[in-house]
Each structure stands twice: as C-alpha cells, then as structure tokens.
C-alpha cells in the first residue's frame, strides 16, 4: 500500500490538488490541452473586459435631452434629420470623466445610479424585445411600435454604441396574415407562421432603421448553435464583424427549424447568451410591463421594484406569473433568469416596457435596474456555464465535492465515485455530489469508456497502471465553472 492509499479520500483530493494544480504543475497544461478543440475563448479578444466594468461611467449631468425620441428629430417632411439624431443621442451618452466612479468590489458596490449610468455609457448593448411589445391585440404586427423602437435604437447606434437587437415576433407577425385569429398551438403551424412572419418582420425593421441611415442584418440561431463550440465561435465572429461594419444584428431563434427537444423557447435566455457572446456592456429587456413587481402587478399590495442589487439572492423572494402573453412564449420568470445570467456575468441590466426603450438606454430612472453581482469571466467560462450542453455526469465524493465547492479546484479521479452517460473527451459534463445536487459544469478530459478504469485512483496509481497520459485531472479547474 502506498502512502497515498493510507489517506482518506478527502485528503487524496487536497494532496492531488497541490500536485496537479500548484504553480508550475505540468498536469494543468496537459489537461487543458486535451480540450483545445472545445476552447470557446480562442481569440485574444476574449480577454477583453475579464473584470466587470472596471468603472461605472457617468452620463453628463448637463445633458437635458433625456426625453428625445425619433419624433424630436424629424424634419418638416417627417423624415429624420440624421445630423440631429446623432447630436441629440451623443449629448445624452457623453461621459463626464470627472464623475467616473470606480467600483472597488462587485456585490453591494453598485447603486441604482451606477447601474443606470453604466447602461447609458455602454459601448455594446444587447436589447431584447418580446412579441407582445411589437404586435396589436389581434396578433398583427404593430408597425408604429416597431418604428418607435427602431428610432430609439438608431439614436444609440448613431451616437457610437454597438447595438444588437434580439427580437421575437416572427410567429406573431405571421399567424395574422395566414388567416389565424390567434397564435396556433401545434408546432408545425407555428413553424410555418414563423417562416412567413420572419420575412415580414425583417422588412419592417429594414425600412424603419433605414430612415436613419442604419443598416440591419438578420441572424437566426438555434439552441444547438450556442451549445456547439465551433458554431458558437462562428456566430460570435459573425456578429463581431457586423458590429465592426456598423450593422445592427437582429437576432431571433430559428423557429422554423428548432425542435421542441432542443430550443430556447423564448428569447429572454437567448438575449443573455448573446450578451455574453458579444461581450456586451449592458442588457436591456423590453416587455409589456413597466418594471418588476413584488407580485403580479394587478394584485393588491404589489409594489414596484426599481433596483435589484443582487438578483441571485432576491429571485426566490419575488412571486411572478410563469407564462407570457397570448402572442409570446416567455414570462416574468424567464426575464428574471435572463437578468440573473447577465448579473452573474458582470453585465448590468434594465427591464422595462418597450415604450420606455429610449429613456432606459439613456440611463433614466425607468423600469428595474439589475446590478452585476460577479466579475465577468472569460468567454470560455461563460460558455461552459450558460451555453454548454452536458453529455454526462461525474459523481464526486464528499471530499472532492467540498474541494469543488471551495472554488478553483480540479476534479481528480481519486475523488469520483461514479460516471453516468456517454461523453467524449472535451464534452461538457455535470459534476454532482452524492445527493444528486449539481455543483459545477466542466469540460472532461477523457471519454466515458476510459473514466471507469480511473475512478478512485491517485495520480501516482494512474501513472503506474495506465500510463502518463492518464495522470491528469478528469476536469481541470480552468475548464470547471460552479453553478
């Protein structure tokens, strides 16, 4: 019996951590190299802004044009004067360097004002609008609502910010013209409506943004596109190029092709994933209510919540309806989840009604502001946490589970009791404790056929029995994210 075998399993985990993950340990490099094909953060650009907004930038106190909208910059002929649009939007978004406030710690440091200033000064903004905010009660597309939204976003784009619009509305725009009185419930008809409606929706957006000289481009995404590393990278690079060219990407789930088995189901979660994908500085969620409330707004005693400093701590205290309107798929639950995803990714967010889009983007006190609660991680870690699709599960013993929970610990074969599912090296897997609770997601370094022979063995044993190539963590800490 070796000296390692004399120690309890929990001590194996800690000792192996020191050996494999200490400074200069070559095990870390090997484990990381084994999943290079799944690196989501392959580009140097992914290192940008790894810390949450180092400062909450302030909008000039002298700017007095917060209520400017598209109507304010139209000439006598009703056509927007682009120069006026640029000037009025830029005035609102001018940063007063003397008032920049450094945020020294994340949780608890951001105030309501800080959060709204950060949104107003954001260089890249993701805006999500739901179906109910773009349609009439009958289900037909409401062109006036769409044009008002386009005007607010064009102001921001012409002021120099990058804008990504995540827009629902394809099914809602399509079922009316196809003769349906209400949204169909069967998948095949919904997909047919989406095929018709997406073209109508984009045509209206092109016209509305075109009046301001802003070009738009369509990007249809399925859930699988965000789960597969190569497709994720391709989508990210496409959007980055569009933004560099001054284009406003208009993103929607590809409803015509998505299956019920693997889909977002609403664009709230998609918008938070897109915000991570483009390294956005702010997320704005537009819906059919003006803000978040302590209970459904129509209930007696329901109170408006203007600021949420820590949505992860508060989310269980808010009672909301779980379903959306008759023309959409989301509800307040999905919007809170999107705000939570943004907050733990270091992205400030605001939720309000679509008619408040302009004021929200300018930092006005409308809707509900959600402060970031964590520092922004690398693109790879954010992908693992929110977009990866676990193919199996590793069951950690008590000692290994404690080490993983403590953070920055690799998962070693010595601390794993069981493996479930079929997965290949580089796939995402769940890491669970013995009670079945999810602890983390990670990229596994070995496939499901190799892992059983490794379980419970120390690094020294693995090297002696199976060879040097097996003397590394099952999931290296650089590829492991707590959930």
Q: Is 333 annotated as a binding residue?
A: yes
Q: Is 330 annotated as a binding residue?
A: yes
Q: How far apart are CA 379 and CA 47, in angstroms?
A: 8
C-beta separation of 392 from 49 below 8 A: no
Rounded to a whole number of angstroms, the CA Rg of the chain reads 24
Q: Is 419 annotated as a binding residue?
A: no
Q: Is 277 annotated as a binding residue?
A: no
Least Cα distance to 176 among 158, 196, 156 occurs for 196
Least Cα distance to 412 among 438, 451, 466, 465 occurs for 451
Q: Is 287 annotated as a binding residue?
A: yes
Q: How far apart are CA 269 and CA 124, in angstroms?
A: 18
Task: List Cα–Cα distances, 340 to 64, 171, 308, 432, in angstroms.
Answer: 32, 27, 10, 22
73 CA to centre of own chain: 33
C-beta separation of 328 from 135 below 8 A: no
Q: Is 168 annotated as a binding residue?
A: yes
Q: Is 20 annotated as a binding residue?
A: no
Q: Is 222 annotated as a binding residue?
A: no
Strands (E), 322-397: 349-353, 368-370, 392-396
Region for residue 332 given its phi and psi (left: phi exceeds 0; alpha: psi -120 to 50; beta: otherwise): alpha
Tokens, residue 9: 């399993």
Residue bearing tokens 């983390």: 440
Q: Between 267-277 and 229-244, two packed helices, what is the crossing angle to 10 degrees?
A: 70
Q: Is 326 annotated as a binding residue?
A: no
Q: Is 267 annotated as a binding residue?
A: yes
C-beta separation of 164 from 152 below 8 A: no
Tokens, residue 233: 């990278």
Q: Residues 284, 265, 393, CA angle at the centre, nearest 5°?
A: 105
Q: Which residues are annotated as a binding site for ATP?
A: 128, 287-288, 329-335
List, as residue ranges, the binding site. Answer: 128, 168, 255, 267, 287-288, 329-335
Q: What are the binding residues for substrate?
A: 168, 255, 267
């Amino acid at each position: 019996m070796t000296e390692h075998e004399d120690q309890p399993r929990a001590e194996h985990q800690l000792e192996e951590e020191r050996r494999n993950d200490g400074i200069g340990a070559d095990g870390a490099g090997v484990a990381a190299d084994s999943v290079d094909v799944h690196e989501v953060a392959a580009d140097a650009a992914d290192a940008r802004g790894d810390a949450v907004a180092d400062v909450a930038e302030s909008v000039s106190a002298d700017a007095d044009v917060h209520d400017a909208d598209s109507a304010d910059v139209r000439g006598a002929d009703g056509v927007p004067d682009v120069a006026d649009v640029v000037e009025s939007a830029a005035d609102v978004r001018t940063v007063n360097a003397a008032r920049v406030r450094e945020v020294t710690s994340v949780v608890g440091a951001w105030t309501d004002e800080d959060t709204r200033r950060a949104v107003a000064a954001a260089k890249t903004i993701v805006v999500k609008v739901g179906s109910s905010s773009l349609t009439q009660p009958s289900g037909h597309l409401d062109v006036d609502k769409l044009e008002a939204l386009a005007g607010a976003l064009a102001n921001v784009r012409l002021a120099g910010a990058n804008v990504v619009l995540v827009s629902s509305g394809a099914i809602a725009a399509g079922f009316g013209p196809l003769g349906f009185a209400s949204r169909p419930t069967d998948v095949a008809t919904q997909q047919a409506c989406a095929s018709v409606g997406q073209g109508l929706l984009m045509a209206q957006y092109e016209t509305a943004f075109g009046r301001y000289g802003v070009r738009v481009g369509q990007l249809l995404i399925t859930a699988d596109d965000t789960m597969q590393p190569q497709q994720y990278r391709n989508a990210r690079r496409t959007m980055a190029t569009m933004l560099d060219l001054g284009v406003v990407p208009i993103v929607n789930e590809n409803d015509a092709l998505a299956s019920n088995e693997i889909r977002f189901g609403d664009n709230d979660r998609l918008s938070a994933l897109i915000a991570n994908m483009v390294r956005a500085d702010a997320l704005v969620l537009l819906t059919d209510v003006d803000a978040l409330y302590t209970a459904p707004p129509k209930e007696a005693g329901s109170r408006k919540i203007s600021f949420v400093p820590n949505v992860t701590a508060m989310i269980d205290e808010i009672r909301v309806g779980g379903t959306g309107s008759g023309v959409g798929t989301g509800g307040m639950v999905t919007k809170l989840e999107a705000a939570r995803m943004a907050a733990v990714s270091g992205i400030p967010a605001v939720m309000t009604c679509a008619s408040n889009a302009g004021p929200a983007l300018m930092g006005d006190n409308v809707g509900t502001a959600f402060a970031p609660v964590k520092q922004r991680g690398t693109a790879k870690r954010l992908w693992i946490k929110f977009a990866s699709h676990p193919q199996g599960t590793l069951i950690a013993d008590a000692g290994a589970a404690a080490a993983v929970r403590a953070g920055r610990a690799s998962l070693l074969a010595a601390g794993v009791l069981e493996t479930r599912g079929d997965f290949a090296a580089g796939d995402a897997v769940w890491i669970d404790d013995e009670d079945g609770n999810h602890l983390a997601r990670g990229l596994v370094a070995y496939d499901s056929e190799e892992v059983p022979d490794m379980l419970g063995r120390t690094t020294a044993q693995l090297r002696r029995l199976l060879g040097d190539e097996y003397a590394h963590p099952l999931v290296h800490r650089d590829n492991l994210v707590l959930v």
